[in-house]
Amino acid sequence: MHYALTESCIAAEVVAAVDINTVANEVYKHNFPNTCIYPKIIEGMTMDEFNKLDFDMILMSPPCQPFTRLGTQKDVLDSRIKSFLYILDLLPSLTKLPKYILLENVKGFETSVARNKLIQTLENCRYSYQEFLLSPTLLGIPNSRLRYFLIAKLQPGTFCIQTSNEVLKQFPDLDDSMEASDISSFSQTLSADDNNMEGITADCCANEVKNGRDETVLYKLEKIRHVKQKQSQDNNSSMQMIQDFLEEELQDPSPYFISTKSLLRYALILDIVGQTCRRSVCFTKGYGSYVEGTGSVLKTASDVELASVFQSFETLSEDEKLTQLAKLKLRYFTPREVANLHGFPPEFSFPEKISLKQRYRLLGNSLNIHVVAKLIKLMVE
């Protein structure tokens, strides 16, 4: 959020950051040493503490587990949502209502009871608001990360955009980063890729699909319709290539190699992307520790086609399978590369003592800075 505020070029100072996660706070302090951090739960802060901060804007990302497809889906009955409900209870009683509020959460929040409570509170406090479901792919970034966003502005302030009761699925102003025709074309594949990130996937740089029924399996459990979908994304020249986000000189790639056991078990469902591809699936906090549904892996052997490796793959012995898979030179994206896809600036870094697992967990719980920066501008202008 802090980096997004900076990128938005809005004249603002962060007066406080609140988080209970000690590792996240260490990383935050490392990058923003002059910002006051409250290492506590929100409900541990009193009304007096909030009023003394005298803030004009709230940027928040409440816990997502109560709303995720693979989570508990307990909504407001989940204890982890207490801090968010506390904010809603406290907001109307503040000495000075903040002029602006931005909230981020996972897809699914838009149909929750928590969302309804948020809307009711905003309307009671006389805020104008707009809801969105947006992915970085709309800005030409080759990473699917569909998220719910809400921006709110205290009346009589008005937005520079025409608001709608609908949840918008693209930015209301189309800038030069992606033409309207490209967005229209890409939106046909956005939903499937973002909402089914652990689905069966294939090389987005595969050869032209041969004639056949859409449900015919080509290789790697991949059906013709899946390959067509990935090719559609790869042919969109408004999307950047994966290679634009990779580390130029990776001194020691060994920590990022995928274990033999994982390769054998998950080979057919790995989301494999090449350096010239223009897509990758959402990275989760389990990336690097788990394989299935946690994010794309990188094929560094640019001269090897997936089709040749997975031809008659299931008929091979384990040793033969490993020999074939080794040709692809698969590895995880590094934390720096994931951060690049999320829009973190070059100056962002982790303290050395933060482990690889912890870095992936934090990035998996993060958001795309470019998307949030654009929303902050829309909210304030």
Are residues 239 and 278 in contact, defined by beta-carbon separation less than 8 angstroms? yes
Pair of tokens at residue 75: 């909504």
The whole-angstrom separation of Cα 378 and Cα 381 is: 6
The residue count of the chain comes to 381
Sign of CA dihedral 138, 144, 146, 150: negative
| Distance separating alpha carbons of residues 86 and 43, to the nearest angstrom | 6
The whole-angstrom separation of Cα 369 and Cα 359 is 17
Cα–Cα distances (Å) from 33 to 27, 213, 303, 344, 356, in that order, read 10, 58, 45, 17, 22
Paired tokens of 68: 């995720």
Residues 230/202, Cβ–Cβ less than 8 Å = yes
Other CB atoms within 10 A of residue 162 CB: 7
Q: What are phi and psi of 147, to 5 degrees?
A: -140, 155
Active site residue 64: yes
Of 9, 36, 64, 205, the active-site residue reads 64
Question: So which residues are the catalytic ones?
Answer: 64
